[in-house]
Amino acid sequence: MFVFPIGLFQADGIEYLLTYNGLQSETGQEIEVTANVILLFTIPMILLVLIIQMLYFKKRPLQLRLGRVLYLLLATLIASTVYLMTENQTHLPSPEIAEVQYGIGFYLPIAAIVFEFLANRSIRKDEELVKSLDRLR
């Protein structure tokens, strides 16, 4: 999300690009926007939890707990991006006729939730397999 735009607005023939650090017109002029401090805190927190989750590969119960924390952080990130898209549209010169396009950065947290679900499902299957093998001994 630091690289890709979150959204693109078109109003009065001018394009405005919403990134993690603000809303800018196509001329590069920054527009006063709603503070997106939530993005600046949640994205690094998500990265940190993901790295910790990968490094603790031998502690599967901890990985599952970190996955739950990650779900919460990703839900917060999705809610804050939706809020930023709607709130920053009001700062445009003519917000009622602005055309809104969602960028790749808007969809990345949704993809992250899907991949986290798949990872947690596999971790849970591994844990069940280890427990079943322990019962056989």
Spell out the domain ranges in the chain.
7-136
Lowest-confidence region among 16-25, 53-62, 117-126: 16-25
Residue 95 has pLDDT above 70, yes or no: no
Please report, for residues 11, 45, 76, 116, 133, the alpha-carbon distance to residue 71 in angstroms, rounded to integers and kept in the order given. Answer: 35, 12, 9, 8, 30
Length of the chain: 137
CB within 8 Å of 59: residues ≥ 6 apart? none
Average pLDDT over residues 44-58: 92
* Percentage of the chain lying above the pLDDT 90 cut: 39
Residue 127 has pLDDT above 80, yes or no: yes
Residue 115 has pLDDT above 90, yes or no: yes
